[in-house]
């Protein structure tokens, strides 16, 4: 009975709107209109739309032009439609890491094979000497889980050594085997800064990371990008690092500890930090930096209800991609990024056009936030979340379009974030009206929820979802489905991510129309959307609502 009462406002809203152009507006989201944008954005002319390049500038100009043609107003106060943000590229060199203990032979290491390390800030030279080390288990503080790995121990001025992931042994803790943000490496490094540590080292295992050491060494040895720190921003944290499991065995052994037993001990809520007694660490490296400017593009449609128009639905999609490949494949060096993510951007544009047609019937406002720098660390959405044009407590929900079904119609749709908030519930309700099913992420242990732009919305409390393509194709046999899976995997982040013979855009259009209708229910609901009780982002949501009001 409670569920029926809860759904009633949404059902009434949908019913009231059904006779005033909802279907007609939805039908305007069609293959011709969406593909018109997609072909432009994914063309060779745009050079792969890498952040800070001419290709990004061209794409930005196109997006602004399209918003203007649609009669959609600027989402920034100066009328430019553009939110510029500064990025810093960081390259490191001359890495040296040594562990030592009195009366024992020093452990010398090899960069890339044993460890990777980089400055936690923007320092040009790191020279840490005789640093003490403290093992802090998972390094998690989660009040809602009654979990604190630090237990009041002062780690300021020390290097904390951390187990990757979060506890998975109990379905009632941290979502069971679903990796929450507490299990992400970014949380670990942020927590080190918060606790005043000198630095943080994560112990890599394939099991706890979900990927091999080659992913770590390859990813963190290249140039890294960050949003430029504010002037005079200071932090006691000097260095972040990963080390291999074999190296951790040696280091813990130097302190008379068994690393395997220590990793196992971290699974107890009673775990307390363990100093690596007698072990000291020396680490030095050099870093060089370059600054580039990236640009988010924002378009706004104002709602018609005087009491609700200062509240928003935010649609996100990233328009950047990988640019020009260093090693051409069969003479092709352009990473066109058609599926990832020209398709999502094109869908967002046409959903915005559909909302614009219905503007008199929109109670809340809509912000189309097309971000850059996703491929280098979700930095465009991070910048907006830290410098929002709309207070997060005034944003009802976020729907993030990244990863479009370009291979045909499916009877299902996947929602990363399923069951976590009322926006996901709306997708279930709306899909049911179409005879479709909604499924959760099939691999929650991979932490996909934290790997696209909606995550930065969630971090500031905004109920967010990340729709993904379904898998139950309507008109394709098993052989074709297997071929599609193979082609999609091979094309990901390669020069082959182009419109090809296997594309069937009927599925994309059906999904975009579904998200349009879900967004409409958010816009015209009697209440703001919310995280379900106990979710890791619920407390932040309540804080942001209080600030906004």
Tens digits of per-residue pLDDT, 183-203? 999 999 999 999 999 999 999
In 372-463, beta strands by DSSP E:
395-400, 412-416, 437-440
Mean pLDDT of the chain: 94
The sign one gets for the Cα dihedral 50, 54, 58, 64 is: positive
How do beta strands 147-148 and 141-142 pair? antiparallel
Q: How far, rounded to the nearest angstrom, does the alpha carbon of residue 255 sit from its chain's CA centroid?
A: 38
8 A C-beta contact, residue 541 and residue 548: no
Same CATH topology for 2-71+302-548 and 88-290: the answer is no
Question: Could you tell me if 350 and 6 are in contact, meaning their C-beta atoms sit under 8 angstroms apart?
Answer: no
Determine contact, residues 347/403, Cβ cutoff 8 Å: no
Instruction: Report the C-alpha gap between 304 and 310 in whole angstroms.
Output: 10
pLDDT tens for 5-31 read 334 444 444 444 433 589 999 999 999
153 against 177, higher pLDDT: 153
Q: For the chain, which residues make up each domain, given as ranges?
A: 2-71+302-548, 88-290
Sequence-separated (6 or more) residues with CB below 8 Å from residue 97: 109, 111, 114, 115, 117, 241, 281, 282, 283
The strand pairing partners of 141, in sequence order, are 148
CATH architecture of 2-71+302-548: 3-Layer(aba) Sandwich (3.40)
pLDDT at 13 (0 to 100):
44
Complete DSSP assignment for 102-144 = TTS--EE--BTTTEEEEESSS-SEEEEEEEEEEE-TT--EEGG
Rounded Cα distance between 159 and 131, Å, is 7
The SS3 call for residue 196 is coil
Run of H or E including 276: strand 274-301
Query: What are the pLDDT digits (tens) for 434-488?
Result: 999 999 999 998 899 999 999 999 999 999 999 999 999 999 999 999 999 999 9
* d(C-alpha 440, C-alpha 36), whole Å: 31
- Tally Cβ neighbours within 10 Å of residue 467: 28
User: Of 72, 63, 55, which is closest to residue 38 (Cα–Cα)?
Assistant: 63
Calculate mean pLDDT across residues 169-180: 90
Query: Strand pairing partners for 473?
Result: 410
CATH class in words for 88-290: alpha beta
d(C-alpha 419, C-alpha 160), whole Å: 34
Asked if 284 and 94 count as a contact pair (C-beta separation under 8 A), the reply is yes
Can you say whether residue 324 is alpha, beta or left, with left for phi > 0 and alpha for psi between -120 and 50 degrees? beta
pLDDT of residue 210: 87
Instruction: Please report, in angstroms and rounded to a whole number, the separation of the first and last CA atoms in the chain.
Output: 31
Q: Tens digits of per-residue pLDDT, 314-361?
A: 999 999 999 999 889 999 999 999 999 999 999 999 999 999 999 999
| Band of residue 231 on the pLDDT scale cut at 50, 70, 90 | low
pTM for the model stands at 0.90
Lowest mean pLDDT among 11-20, 387-396, 496-505: 11-20
Report pLDDT digits (tens) over 392-418.
999 999 999 998 999 999 999 999 999
**Residue in 430, 368, 375, 432 with CA at minimum distance from that of residue 400:** 368
Quick one: pLDDT at residue 11?
42
CA dihedral 282, 288, 292, 298 (to 10 degrees): 0
Task: Compute the average pLDDT of residues 478-500.
Answer: 93
């Amino acid at each position: 009975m409670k569920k029926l009462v809860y759904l009633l406002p949404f059902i009434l809203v949908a019913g009231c709107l059904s006779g005033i152009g909802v279907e007609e507006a939805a039908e305007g989201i069609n293959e011709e209109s969406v593909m018109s944008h997609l072909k432009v954005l994914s063309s060779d002319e745009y050079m792969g739309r890498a952040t800070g390049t001419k290709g990004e500038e061209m794409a930005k100009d196109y997006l602004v032009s399209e918003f203007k043609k649609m009669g959609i107003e600027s989402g920034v106060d100066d009328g430019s439609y553009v939110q510029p943000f500064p990025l810093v590229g960081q390259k490191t060199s001359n890495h040296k890491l040594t562990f030592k203990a009195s009366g024992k032979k020093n452990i010398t290491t090899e960069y890339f094979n044993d460890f990777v390390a980089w400055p936690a800030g923007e320092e040009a030279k790191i020279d840490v000497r005789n640093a003490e080390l403290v093992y802090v288990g998972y390094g998690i503080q989660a009040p809602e889980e009654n979990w604190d790995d630090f237990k009041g121990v002062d780690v300021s001025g020390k290097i904390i050594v951390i187990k990757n992931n979060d506890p998975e042994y109990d379905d009632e803790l941290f979502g069971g085997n679903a990796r929450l943000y507490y299990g992400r490496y970014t949380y670990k490094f942020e927590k080190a800064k918060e606790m005043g540590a000198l630095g943080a080292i994560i112990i890599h295992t394939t099991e706890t990371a979900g990927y091999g050491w080659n992913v770590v060494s390859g990813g963190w040895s290249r140039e890294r990008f960050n949003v430029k720190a504010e002037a005079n921003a200071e932090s006691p944290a000097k260095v972040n690092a990963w080390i291999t499991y074999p190296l951790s065995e040696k280091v813990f052994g130097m302190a008379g500890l068994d690393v395997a037993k220590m990793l196992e001990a971290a699974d107890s809520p009673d775990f307390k930090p363990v100093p690596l007694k007698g072990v000291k660490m020396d680490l030095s490296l050099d870093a060089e930096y370059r600054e580039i400017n990236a640009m988010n593009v924002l378009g706004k449609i104002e709602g018609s209800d005087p009491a609700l128009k200062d509240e928003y639905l935010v649609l996100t999609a990233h328009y950047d991609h990988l640019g020009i490949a260093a090693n051409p494949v069969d003479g092709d060096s352009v990473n066109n990024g058609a599926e990832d993510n020209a398709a999502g951007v094109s869908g967002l544009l046409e959903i915005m056009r559909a909302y614009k047609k219905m503007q008199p019937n929109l109670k809340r406002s809509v912000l189309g936030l097309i971000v850059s720098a996703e491929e280098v660390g979700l930095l465009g959405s991070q910048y907006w979340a830290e410098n929002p044009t709309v207070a997060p407590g005034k944003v009802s929900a976020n729907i993030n379009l990244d990863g479009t079904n370009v291979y045909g119609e499916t009877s299902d749709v996947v929602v990363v974030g399923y069951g976590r908030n009322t926006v996901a519930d709306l997708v279930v309700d709306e899909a049911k009206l179409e005879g479709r099913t909604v499924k959760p992420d099939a691999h929650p242990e991979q932490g996909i929820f934290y790997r696209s732009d909606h995550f930065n919305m969630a971090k500031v409390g905004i109920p967010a979802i990340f729709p993904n393509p379904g898998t139950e194709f309507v008109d394709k046999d098993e052989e074709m489905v297997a071929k599609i899976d193979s082609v999609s995997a091979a094309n990901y982040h390669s020069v082959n991510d182009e419109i090809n013979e296997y594309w069937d855009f009927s599925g994309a259009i059906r999904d975009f129309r579904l998200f349009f209708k879900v967004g409409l229910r958010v816009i015209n609901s009697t209440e703001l959307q919310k995280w379900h009780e106990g979710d890791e982002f619920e407390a932040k949501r309540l804080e942001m609502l209080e600030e906004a009001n």
